[in-house]
Chain A
Amino acid sequence: MANARIEFRNVTKRFPARTRDGEPVVAVRNVSVSIGDGEVVALIGPSGCGKSTLLNMGSGLYLPTEGEVYVDGRRVTGTNPQVAFMLQKDLLLPWRTVLENAELGLEIRGVQARERRQRAHALLVKCHLSGFEQHYPHQLSGGMRQRAALARTLAVDPVVLLMDEPFSALDAQTKMVLQQDLAQTVMEERKTALLITHDLVEAVALADRIIVMSSRPGTIIEEFTVDIPGRDDPMKRRRHARVGDYVVRLMELLHIGDKSAAEVI
């Protein structure tokens, strides 16, 4: 892709063997993914297929054994300010207030106190957390904590969002609300996002494109576009007639419901 915001080129990641004479673990093999500006790509695959490894390489926390990762055309050699990630765990620091947590990335980057406070505050308002700035994480519900985590992720104004099952720890209804929040924010701020998920409907509702990975060593089995309008309103989009077709296609690709599924997954 010409102006890819983030691109994985023939990326392979091997981890050293766990035992002395064991085989090295190949987490990901020869994966190429290219995500354009403002695109949301969902990555689906069975557990252990290396999706999280891809995310770590995208953010510069690991380096690929083979292949390269590019962000905005520049090779990724370490962590960089343009990429931010969000995990299933909110990773809110328990000893910091919600506001201080949202400021974390800005503080590490050396932004001045007043400016950090303003930016963090503005994002908390946007994430529907105004009034809770001085609360501590343990006083918040799971959905609110993930919102705070989203505020923290967006505070550093990243170009690319890498999200590893950010909503899978939440109950189904809170999940839908947060999916809506995320979709709107991503559209408004024109962020590029790679969303790892196990939720098939979530993938179809939130993404422009879906990539399906095989089990370990993870490679790409298939890639297709979600041809349904209204990406910024997933609550409406998921009611569209074609959603079911996409979900069925994903189920087939992932062999969910097959008699032999137990061996594959």
Chain B
Amino acid sequence: MSTERAAAAAQALPDPGIENEAEAPPASVLVVAAQPAGKRHGRSAGAGAGFTPGTLASSAAVLILFLVVWQWLPAATGVPEFILPPPTKVWSEFVRMLGSERLLYHSGITALEVVVGFVLGSLLGVMIGFVLGLSPKTELVLSPYILALQIAPKVAFAPLFVMWLGYTVYPKIVVAVLIVFFPVMVNVLTAVRTVDPDMVSLARSFSASRLQIFRLIEYPSSLAPLFAGLRIAATLAVIGVVVGELVGGNIGLGYLLTFGEGEGNTAMVFVAIIMLTIIGIAAYSAVAAAERRVLHYVPRAQHITV
């Protein structure tokens, strides 16, 4: 691919833009590239190489301090329990929900929706990303529509999907797929477009076929940006599922959220939020772990926490 064409193609890309969802994750999805992973090379930097017993203890102390303040301060300043339940109340509600509200069942449904939505959305994003990346013409033709869909707040489609697909898990999964699809697709697309043209020339000089160029150069080059997209998508998937459950649900943690809200049971709302966060952390950690394995060759620049 000549340099002129690559440059022209890069300008024709849909602007990654900003996801309009409430949580507003990092706007430029391409920024976080190949930073994490890489345990191969021995030398780790002094500070920031990871948790030492000292830093771990300090982190735990922060948590304990926070819990203590949360337990004590609202009561001392006269904040009523239905506004800000203390940790002890949240815990007892958690235990109650395990029994009476089938907390684990709902959490499991939500987790399933997140996983299925994430996997499907990522697969679609990767495939379409590569197809559009390798065929600039197709991408140019479709770019206005891709851009429009990307800017449209996907969570706004949730009521539509509920009307189409009913009060089942499917609308939630579809919303998650839509939300996950775009960051993954954009990252893969741009990765393919910004492959080092000299590397492609090198492969061509050995008379590599188109397929070889893709397999040996373009695809491996795309893995770092792909995983960056996947990490973002993992957290977005949870958002998509929650909104789907808020809009039209009788199962899942989003349903428990609205149920708790309706009853004025703030502690239940807290529990649901905490469970959702746990699911999000699990999803993100799984992606980060996979990334460390796949991108083992990337030198570890610093300790990454986000």
* Min CB–CB distance B17 → chain A (angstroms): 29
CB pair B206–A79 under 8 Å, yes or no, is: yes
Which residue of chain A has the shortest Cβ distance to B202 in the bound complex? A91
Complex Cα distance, B204 from A93, in Å, reads 14
CB pair A87–B207 under 8 Å, yes or no, is: no
Residues of B within 8 A of A139 (CB): 41, 299
Does B298 interact with chain A (Cβ within 8 Å)?
yes
A85-99 to B contact mask, C-beta < 8 Å, 1/0: 101010101111000
Residues of A within 8 A of B202 (CB): 85, 91, 104
Complex Cα distance, B216 from A78, in Å, reads 20
* Min CB–CB distance B209 → chain A (angstroms): 8
Does B199 interact with chain A (Cβ within 8 Å)?
yes
Complex Cα distance, B206 from A80, in Å, reads 7
CB pair B208–A108 under 8 Å, yes or no, is: yes
Complex Cα distance, B197 from A56, in Å, reads 13
Complex Cα distance, B41 from A79, in Å, reads 37
Residue picked from B204, B205, B220, most chain A C-beta under 10 Å: B205
In chain A, residues 51-106, which have Cβ atoms closer than 8 Å to a Cβ of chain B? 56, 59-61, 78-81, 83-85, 87, 89, 91, 93-96, 104-105
- B199 partner, pick from A59, A84, A93, beta carbons under 8 A: A93
Q: Which residues of A contact B (CB under 8 A)?
A: 56, 59-61, 78-81, 83-85, 87, 89, 91, 93-96, 104-105, 107-109, 136, 138-139, 156
Does B146 interact with chain A (Cβ within 8 Å)?
no
User: In the complex where A95-B220, A95-B297, A136-B297 touch, is A85 in contact with B199 (Cβ < 8 A)?
Assistant: no
CB pair A59–B205 under 8 Å, yes or no, is: yes
Could you tell me the dominant secondary structure of chain A's interface residues?
loop
Which residue of chain A has the shortest Cβ distance to B295 in the bound complex? A95
Complex Cα distance, B237 from A130, in Å, reads 48
B271-305 to A contact mask, C-beta < 8 Å, 1/0: 00000000000000000000000000111000000
Residues of A within 8 A of B223 (CB): 95
Complex Cα distance, B220 from A75, in Å, reads 34
Does B198 interact with chain A (Cβ within 8 Å)?
yes
CB pair A138–B205 under 8 Å, yes or no, is: no
Residue picked from A59, A83, A108, A138, most chain B C-beta under 10 Å: A108
CB pair B297–A91 under 8 Å, yes or no, is: no
Does B44 interact with chain A (Cβ within 8 Å)?
no
24 A-B residue pairs with Cβ-Cβ distance under 8 Å, sorted by A, are: A56-B201, A59-B205, A61-B204, A79-B205, A79-B206, A80-B207, A81-B207, A83-B205, A84-B206, A89-B198, A91-B196, A91-B198, A95-B220, A96-B297, A104-B202, A108-B203, A108-B206, A108-B208, A108-B212, A109-B206, A136-B41, A136-B297, A138-B297, A139-B41
In chain B, residues 200-236, which have Cβ atoms closer than 8 Å to a Cβ of chain A? 201-208, 212, 216-217, 220, 223
* Min CB–CB distance A26 → chain B (angstroms): 16
CB pair A60–B205 under 8 Å, yes or no, is: yes
Residues of B within 8 A of A83 (CB): 205
User: In the complex where A138-B299, A139-B41 touch, is A91 in contact with B208 (Cβ < 8 A)?
Assistant: no
- B205 partner, pick from A85, A94, A95, beta carbons under 8 A: A85
CB pair B212–A87 under 8 Å, yes or no, is: no
Residues of B within 8 A of A94 (CB): 297-298
User: In the complex where A108-B212, A136-B297 touch, is A91 in contact with B41 (Cβ < 8 A)?
Assistant: no
CB pair B205–A93 under 8 Å, yes or no, is: no
Complex Cα distance, B299 from A108, in Å, reads 27
- B207 partner, pick from A79, A89, A136, beta carbons under 8 A: A79
- B201 partner, pick from A61, A78, A96, beta carbons under 8 A: A61
Complex Cα distance, B40 from A94, in Å, reads 13
Which residue of chain B has the shortest Cβ distance to A105 in the bound complex? B206
CB pair A104–B206 under 8 Å, yes or no, is: yes
User: In the complex where A91-B198, A93-B220 touch, is A136 in contact with B40 (Cβ < 8 A)?
Assistant: yes
B91-128 to A contact mask, C-beta < 8 Å, 1/0: 00000000000000000000000000000000000000
Which residue of chain B has the shortest Cβ distance to A60 in the bound complex? B205
**Additional pairs, 15, CB under 8 Å, beyond known A79-B207, A80-B207:** A61-B205, A79-B205, A81-B206, A91-B198, A91-B199, A93-B220, A95-B220, A96-B297, A104-B206, A108-B206, A108-B216, A109-B206, A136-B297, A139-B41, A156-B206
Residue picked from B204, B206, B223, most chain A C-beta under 10 Å: B206
CB pair B297–A79 under 8 Å, yes or no, is: no
Complex Cα distance, B202 from A85, in Å, reads 8
Residues of B within 8 A of A59 (CB): 205
Residues of A within 8 A of B220 (CB): 93, 95
CB pair B198–A84 under 8 Å, yes or no, is: no
Residues of A within 8 A of B203 (CB): 104, 108
Complex Cα distance, B206 from A83, in Å, reads 9
CB pair B198–A79 under 8 Å, yes or no, is: no
* Min CB–CB distance B207 → chain A (angstroms): 5
| 9 closest A-B pairs by CB | A108-B206, A105-B206, A138-B299, A108-B208, A136-B297, A95-B220, A79-B207, A91-B202, A59-B205
